Chains A and B, each alone.
With several copies, the nearest count.
Chain A
């Protein structure tokens, strides 16, 4: 069993209303100088050996389902 992490973030040029709201809330709470962008983190447990082929499957899954590539970018990496 191996664990692969898929990080999905809104593309930088795309409006991130969530991040904006969080940034505003932090400021009101007195945390200054923090700018936040909010995305998603998926922990994917892969059954069996983590072959290159398996990893490619996770990448495909990310592209197809986990991220909406029109507005989001994703990054796939194996957890150390």
Chain B
């Protein structure tokens, strides 16, 4: 039997598996308070995913707020969209704007390296697409355990093939990234993915559901049981013995579907058929419906029975939580619906009206004609718990810093020195990366002006004027381990320099903050130091942070990774013909060393 709102109101004392869904008791109580009754199992599903660390930023929110102090001015003008949108949008001059963002897909990539990395790329690409932009390039900062460790032989090739398999198939040039090895990433590789997209100023689209009577359309792949391990707990309550099949916690990507989704969505934008749009990533329909509805001026009514399913045994809780890839949700004015569906049909993309925007401010979801969700969407999407996690500078950091490189033995002969230089040059962290980067297409789209092995990637945006952008991502986690404040600023400065040396002017920043457990005060201290450092650094450089991502709980058997605040810097160049490559070009040129 389905747990309806009416039933929930009548049965306040039913035991609910909030703990197994990752909620704390106080969080569950807060949900009851908000609703004035116990949640239905569907509502519990929605709150539990949306209030997870991953979706709600409950441990990092108080720190991330500081990025807001930086304002919205770049050296080239105001941001058109900043933190809080799916991705920041930077005015780069002419009629052009650029949107870029970096995200992590660390844990899934350990479980299933190929698919984890592939769907990581897919997710960030949809974020960029949802801003109304055409995705034009990707980058992939990667981190692994020791190259010679046995499991690295499983993890690394899979992740690299996954990044390439998805990005290459989408036709997005890979213009840079990182490959770093450190023992603390063993059992917890970092897969960060950056996507950049381009749009005209007028094409900017923000995620909200506006206008009573407007239709809510779900399009892209059909919904399956992907990534809903947790929700099966709920489903098992509504199903009997021969109930739902085993649900995979692994999502499988379909880059071909995503390519169709990109072309189809851009055609929908071009014909102005979209009033509001959101991609479906983590938390799937729970996220898309509650975020679209709470950002708009009305409510939303959704009929879950209309959601096209790949697996017909799915329970409503599971449909709401499914993380099936390659799906998007749009709000469309009624008179545009036919044309919308026509364009989707042209691209062979499944599209279904699943609901509409309503008067009032409730998100109501029905299943088999009964109401299973009746919530204020803002309480799901934005009013999750916020924690002031304790943080403290750890004692061990002094000892760590005291153990300097000066304590190491020095080479005593020329031969020894030569051997050391060779060993360094051949070490996995410093050696030529083409064994990895040659698996990525850097030429597709024909606008890659600089790519591997250059310090920064550069893409031509405007073929007439030569207007272009440059991008670099960097982080040395060992520095951040010694001193998270300075380490984060070094990451910022390195990426900033890597953009500057191409000839582009650095204008804006995105970041992916990969850390250990937020419940460990020393990790929280590392995190807060890194955020303050980036705020101070960006203030000094005059560049806003446009958005990013936090990944916590990166640890193996209780050992946290070294703090890894990856910074991506975007630069603008008026004419890509003026770019500067990193090689020496003319014999006889003078060589200068800048700085001390």
- What residues of chain A have their CB less than 8 Å away from a CB belonging to chain B? 10-17, 20-21, 24, 68, 70-71
Given contacts A68-B112, A70-B111, A71-B112, contact A13 B246 (CB under 8 A): yes
Task: Check A15–B112 contact: CB distance below 8 A.
Answer: no
* Leading 5 A-B pairs by shortest Cβ distance: A17-B254, A15-B252, A70-B112, A13-B248, A13-B245
Our pick among B112, B115, B247, B253 for the contact of A13 (Cβ within 8 Å) is B247
Is B387 located at the chain interface by the 8 A CB criterion? Answer: no
Minimum Cβ distance to chain A for residue B189 (Å): 15
Task: Check A21–B225 contact: CB distance below 8 A.
Answer: no
Is B445 located at the chain interface by the 8 A CB criterion? Answer: no
Is B462 located at the chain interface by the 8 A CB criterion? Answer: no
Task: Check A15–B226 contact: CB distance below 8 A.
Answer: yes
Contacts of B247 in A (CB 8 A): 13
Task: Check B245–A12 contact: CB distance below 8 A.
Answer: yes
Digit string of B221-261 for contact with A (CB within 8 Å is 1, else 0)?
Answer: 10011100000000000000000011110111110110000
CA A49 to CA B256, docked complex, whole Å = 33
Contacts of B325 in A (CB 8 A): 15
Minimum Cβ distance to chain A for residue B496 (Å): 39
Chain A interface secondary structure, helix, strand, loop or mixed?
Answer: loop
Our pick among A12, A16, A71 for the contact of B250 (Cβ within 8 Å) is A71
Is B310 located at the chain interface by the 8 A CB criterion? Answer: yes
Contacts of B310 in A (CB 8 A): 15
Minimum Cβ distance to chain A for residue B20 (Å): 20
Minimum Cβ distance to chain B for residue A61 (Å): 15
Is B324 located at the chain interface by the 8 A CB criterion? Answer: yes
Task: Check A11–B248 contact: CB distance below 8 A.
Answer: yes
Given contacts A68-B112, A71-B112, A71-B252, contact A17 B245 (CB under 8 A): no
Minimum Cβ distance to chain B for residue A11 (Å): 7
Given contacts A13-B224, A15-B224, contact A70 B257 (CB under 8 A): no
CA A70 to CA B245, docked complex, whole Å = 16
Task: Check B256–A21 contact: CB distance below 8 A.
Answer: yes
Is B311 located at the chain interface by the 8 A CB criterion? Answer: yes
Our pick among B111, B221, B252, B257 for the contact of A14 (Cβ within 8 Å) is B252
Minimum Cβ distance to chain A for residue B191 (Å): 16
7 cross-chain CB contacts under 8 A: A13-B224, A13-B225, A13-B311, A15-B325, A17-B256, A21-B256, A24-B348
Query: Which partner residue on chain B sits nearest A21 by CB separation?
Result: B256
Within 8 A of A (CB), among B110-165: 111-112, 114-115
Within 8 A of A (CB), among B295-343: 310-311, 324-325
CA A38 to CA B492, docked complex, whole Å = 46
Within 8 A of A (CB), among B325-376: 325, 348
Task: Check A70–B256 contact: CB distance below 8 A.
Answer: no
A11, A13, A16, A70, most chain B CB atoms within 10 A: A13
Minimum Cβ distance to chain A for residue B327 (Å): 12
Task: Check A15–B256 contact: CB distance below 8 A.
Answer: no
CA A11 to CA B311, docked complex, whole Å = 13
CA A14 to CA B115, docked complex, whole Å = 11
Within 8 A of A (CB), among B178-234: 221, 224-226
CA A71 to CA B245, docked complex, whole Å = 14
CA A68 to CA B502, docked complex, whole Å = 42
Minimum Cβ distance to chain A for residue B354 (Å): 20
CA A20 to CA B253, docked complex, whole Å = 13
Contacts of A17 in B (CB 8 A): 252-254, 256-257
CA A75 to CA B249, docked complex, whole Å = 22
Contacts of A11 in B (CB 8 A): 248
Digit string of B4-38 for contact with A (CB within 8 Å is 1, else 0)?
Answer: 00000000000000000000000000000000000
CA A14 to CA B252, docked complex, whole Å = 7
Query: Which partner residue on chain B sits nearest A11 by CB separation?
Result: B248
Contacts of B250 in A (CB 8 A): 14, 70-71
Contacts of B246 in A (CB 8 A): 13
CA A64 to CA B279, docked complex, whole Å = 36
Digit string of B83-97 for contact with A (CB within 8 Å is 1, else 0)?
Answer: 000000000000000
Minimum Cβ distance to chain A for residue B246 (Å): 6
Task: Check B324–A15 contact: CB distance below 8 A.
Answer: yes
Query: Which partner residue on chain B sits nearest A15 by CB separation?
Result: B252
Given contacts A71-B112, A71-B115, contact A14 B248 (CB under 8 A): yes
CA A11 to CA B249, docked complex, whole Å = 12
Contacts of B114 in A (CB 8 A): 68
Query: Which partner residue on chain B sits nearest A20 by CB separation?
Result: B254
Minimum Cβ distance to chain A for residue B247 (Å): 7
CA A65 to CA B252, docked complex, whole Å = 19
Contacts of B253 in A (CB 8 A): 17
Contacts of B348 in A (CB 8 A): 24
Minimum Cβ distance to chain A for residue B107 (Å): 13
CA A11 to CA B115, docked complex, whole Å = 14
B221, B245, B252, most chain A CB atoms within 10 A: B252
CA A15 to CA B213, docked complex, whole Å = 34
Minimum Cβ distance to chain A for residue B218 (Å): 17
